Each structure stands twice: as C-alpha cells, then as structure tokens.
Amino acid sequence: MTIKPPFHYTGNKYKTIPMIISNTPDGCGRYIDLFGGSGVVACNLASHGYENVCYNERDTKVFDLFNFASHASRSAEFKERLCQINNSYPDTKEAYLNLRQSYNECNSNFHLYLLVCRSFSNGIRFNSKGEFNLPYGERNHFDINRIEACSGLNISTFNSDFRDFKFYDDDWVFIDPPYTGTTATYNKGWSIKDDQDLFEMMDRFSERGIKFCYTNVLSNRGFNNDMLQDYLNNRKYNVLSTNGDFRNTSFRKSDEPTQEIMVMNY
C-alpha cells in the first residue's frame, strides 16, 4: 500500500512509489532519500518495513515542515490545533491571503503547512523580505489522515546539501534532484554545475559499491536533457521508463511527450 506524504508538495513521487519500492534492494545499511521534499519516498520506505530510513532536504523551510508534520503530529493537541486553524480559514482566495498575512506576521509552521496545502502548485516561495508570496492555488489539499499515516514512522532527518552528506559503502541512495530545464518553485536555482557534481558523485558511488536509484527526465515538452543522455551513453546502468506526469512543472511549451526515467547501478 502506498501512503501519501505528510504534506502535498510539488514534484513528489507518489505515483512512482510502487515502482521505486519494487526496485529497492534488501539488506542495505541505510536507505537514504537524498532530495527528500515532501518525504513521500522516505515515508513509504519506512512503511514498507525498511530500516534505517534517512530523509535529507537542503531547503531549511521544507526540512522544518517535514519534521513538523511527521514528528510533532504524534500528539492529539497538535492535530486539534492544526484542524482548528484550517477551519478558521474558508477555501477562498480572500481567506488564503489572510492566512498568508498571518503566517508572514507570526512565522508559525501551522500556518505554513496550511499555506502549502492551498498555494499555487503546492509550492514554497519567499520574497527578498522573507515573506511567503505564492498566490492562491484554487484548492485545499489539507487532509489530517495523511499526517496521521506518517506520524509513527521511524525516519532520521538531515538538513544538508547533497555534496556534504556522509555516505557509507552499504548505503542505498534514492536520488530525485530538481530537474534541469524547469522553472518550478522547488527548483531553487538548480544548475548545470549541480548536475555535474551529482553525476560525479554517482560515479563514486559505483566505484565504492554504493547502490543508487536516480530519477530524471530525458525530454519534456521540447526540453531535451542532452547532458543526462551523454552521461548515460557512457555508463552501463539499468535504465527504466516511469512515464511521469509533470502537469505542475513549467517546462518549455511543447506538445512532445514526457520521457521520465529511473536509473540504477545494480
């Protein structure tokens, strides 16, 4: 059974979870979700019985939100307060703007969580003043059940850039970075240099015997990921198609189909 992450966040891998789980090896020392985001991969690894699951997220706001929703949510008082605040703001644009103003004044994770449930593309974005500034997304994804489903899971959390994370030879690493060629809010300035550093890290993983599963797109709506294609042409990796859906990601406009892939070195 696939469980939803504790909060709805753009770019998550919910639809791909069955394929990820079926291709996750047993017997590894740790199972690391290197670009954790909503935590959907880490939560499902833990719920499927994998031990020593690690969630890593470099964005401090997203990292704090995951800890807030997955750990603090174990108390009845937490759930009661979150529901009370949600119910005090109707599902309207005006109420969303009032919620956003309240968050920018009090900086409460309760308010931030509810903003992400309602924001455009369920993203997180702040202006130069540190104020949350995404517009209303015309919907509310708040669901207390998804918080409860993740609240008892045993997951270690890390707030680190992928280059600074310490790996061991018996790790399994799930790698779902921001995708080059997107302007999605979760991209956070991901660059070609970041891709190059990540590819070099993946090569070092293979040299050390560290297993990894990497996802990305080869093409989407006119964007061709030539750098990734060139990298794969010179590696003997196991490459599978996942047929991803990127309706909430802003690629260059085109009617060409998406080609999302999963790459494994085992």
The whole-number pLDDT of residue 251 equals 40
Pairing of strands 259-264, 238-241: antiparallel
Percent share of the chain, pLDDT over 90 = 75
- Look at residues 96, 68, 94 and name the one whose alpha carbon lies nearest to residue 82: 68
The region of weakest confidence among 48-57, 121-130, 243-252 is: 243-252
Cβ–Cβ < 8 Å for 198, 177: yes
Query: Considering the chain, what is the average pLDDT of its residues?
Result: 90
- Structural element, H or E, at residue 70: helix 60-70
83-110 pLDDT tens trace: 999 999 999 999 999 999 999 999 999 9
What are the extents of the domains in the chain? 14-58+152-264, 67-149
Cα distance from N-terminal residue to C-terminal residue, the chain? 25
The whole-number pLDDT of residue 120 equals 94
The fold of 67-149 is: Adenine-specific Methyltransferase; domain 2 (1.10.1020)
- Look at residues 141, 137, 156, 126 and name the one whose alpha carbon lies nearest to residue 32: 156
> DSSP class of residue 74?
G
CATH class, domain 14-58+152-264, is alpha beta
Pairing of strands 155-158, 53-56: parallel
168-218 pLDDT tens trace: 999 999 999 998 765 555 556 799 999 999 999 999 999 999 999 999 999
